[in-house]
Amino acid sequence: MGIRLVAFDLDGVLYRGKEVVPGAREGVQAVLDHGLQLQYVTNNATLHRSAIAARLDSMGFPATPEQVLGSAAATAAWLRGHIPAGSPVLAVGEPGLIQELSQAGFHAMHVRDAPEDGVAAAIVVGLDRSLTYDTLAVAQHHILHGALFVATNTDATFPAEGRLLPGGGAVVAAVATAAGVEPVVIGKPEPGMAEALRTLSGLSYEDMLFVGDRLDTDIAFGAAVGMRTLFVLSGVHGRHDIESFGVEPDFILESLAGLSRLLDELVSKP
């Protein structure tokens, strides 16, 4: 019976830095008005899901930690199926990532705090705005000695107020180049994030509409598993990029202010 869940990317869709994207609040409210399940899905791995929910709420978007799926939490969930509980895990990342890894049952810390002896079970890499040469060298050492190399996401950039900034993918690329090893990637557009969303929601992909501003991550992510996709022209990519990326969204909106009308059609559409 049509869609039952709408999942929103965050950066470039709901906000850019500290600025709310025009029409975004109306779009999120439209989901609630139509009685649909609301989910926020982000490749951001710097914040714990509770901090992301608090940030959303402060910007006028209703959100609970249970409604937030970040690549840090998805990565921690994936690791639970691949290394034993309590394993030492080192992060090239920020406190939110380390908190998610710790809550998943791992002995997690930043690589700068790594003991000099032993090898970590895994090196997890995301955006790290304190990245140094020493951080890179420690991560390289552990990967070369057998640590599993996992990337929260490979987004090269993310939108801020009036500009693009380097994303987690830039840090992942540095570690991969130093170690000569490609990581397992969990975040969009890889299937690990989709599997986490399906498990969290209890719904099938056909029940979901994914809303994003990036063709290479958001729209490719949803299309790959059979979600319907909505491309909103408020972030990184525009209409002119569709042919270049070879990804065709199901729907396109200039602004999320138009989402209510689209949902009128989709909710009752078989």
State residue 128's pLDDT score: 97
DSSP state of 190: S
State residue 220's pLDDT score: 94
Q: What is the CB-side half-sphere exposure of residue 196 using CA atoms within 13 A? A: 31
By the 8 A CB rule, do 37 and 65 touch?
no
Describe the chain by its helix, strand, coil percentages, rounded to 5. 40, 20, 35
State residue 197's pLDDT score: 93
State residue 234's pLDDT score: 82
What count of other Cβ atoms lies within 10 Å of the Cβ of residue 221?
A: 27
| Residue tagged active-site, from 9, 155, 207, 216 | 9
Residue 122 has which token pair? 């895994």
Beta strands in the chain (DSSP E): 5-8, 15-16, 19-20, 37-42, 68-70, 88-92, 107-110, 122-125, 148-151, 157-160, 163-166, 184-185, 208-212, 228-232, 251-253
| Residue tagged active-site, from 11, 128, 213, 216 | 11
Q: Give the three-class secondary structure for 216.
A: helix
- How high is the mean pLDDT in each 10-residue block of the chain (270 residues)? 90 90 97 97 93 96 96 94 96 96 97 93 97 97 98 86 87 98 95 91 96 92 96 85 88 96 81
11 classed as catalytic: yes
State residue 2's pLDDT score: 82
Residue 226 Rama label (left phi>0; alpha psi -120 to 50; beta): left
End-to-end, the C-alpha distance of the chain in Å comes to 5
Cβ-proximal residues to 39 (8 Å cutoff; 6+ apart), any chain: 5, 6, 7, 8, 67, 68, 69, 197, 200, 201
- C-alpha radius of gyration, the chain, whole number: 18
57 classed as catalytic: no
State residue 202's pLDDT score: 93
